[in-house]
Amino acid sequence: MTEASSATEASRGTILVVNGPNLNLLGTREPEKYGTSTLADVEQLAINAAEAHGFSVDCVQSNHEGDLLDAIHDARTNAVGIVINAGAFTHTSVALRDALAAVSLPAVEVHITNVHQREEFRHHSYLSPVCSAVIVGAGVQGYKLAIDYLASVL
Ligand code: CA2
């Protein structure tokens, strides 16, 4: 690979991948629901998918809403798109919705499980109306699908 082509491949920018509360437990509990992949596996999946399209990835996981808000705010200057699994904050957080709306970047909401097959309180998302796309029930492959989608629109 020449230096010129390498520079071109690196030039598409950074995709922020945000994981919310309890997703640090992936692969350690409830495998029948969330599968056996760890958070590190999911982040590597996202990195590989993004690299295949010439993007880099910043991964953030936090159990604290404020940390997630800060990461989304930072994306204004550091990222070109967002993949977000906000976990349970999906169903509660007007603040995360406002942050996503404020940054005006294409964002994809991902849920590992099909939230519509689960409890009623998981059927509503505060985030979906401000996201370009929503992927539910595809397991951790949903993160790859989200990045493929972002790569197609960016
Ligand atoms: O399906 C999803 O990805 C969810 O965002 C997962 C959240 C849940 O609150 C949403 O309704 C749907 C829960 C994440 C908990 O992750 C765990 C992973 C392994 C073991 C225990 C929890």
* Model pTM score: 0.94
Amino acid at 115: V
88 alpha carbon to ligand 1 midpoint, in Å? 7
**From atom 5 of ligand 1, which residue's Cα is the shortest distance away?**
87
pLDDT value at 139 more than 50: yes
138 alpha carbon to ligand 1 midpoint, in Å? 13
Q: Is the CB of 113 within 6 Å of ligand 1?
A: yes
| Structural domains in the chain, sorted by start | 2-153 (3.40.50.9100)
Q: Is 53 a residue of the active site?
A: no
| Residue range 75-94, pLDDT digits in tens | 999 999 999 999 999 999 99
Residue 63: CB atoms within 10 Å: 15
| Residue range 94-105, pLDDT digits in tens | 999 999 999 999
From the alpha carbon of 91, which atom of ligand 1 is closest? Answer: 11
Torsion (CA) 46, 49, 53, 59 in degrees, nearest 10: 10
| Residue range 12-52, pLDDT digits in tens | 999 999 999 999 999 999 999 999 999 999 999 999 999 99
Q: How confident is the model at residue 11 (pLDDT cuts 50, 70, 90)?
A: confident
Q: Is 126 a residue of the active site?
A: no
Q: Which of 84, 92, 109, 112 has the most ligand 1 atoms within 8 A of CB, as the residue to mutate?
A: 112
From the alpha carbon of 23, which atom of ligand 1 is closest? Answer: 16
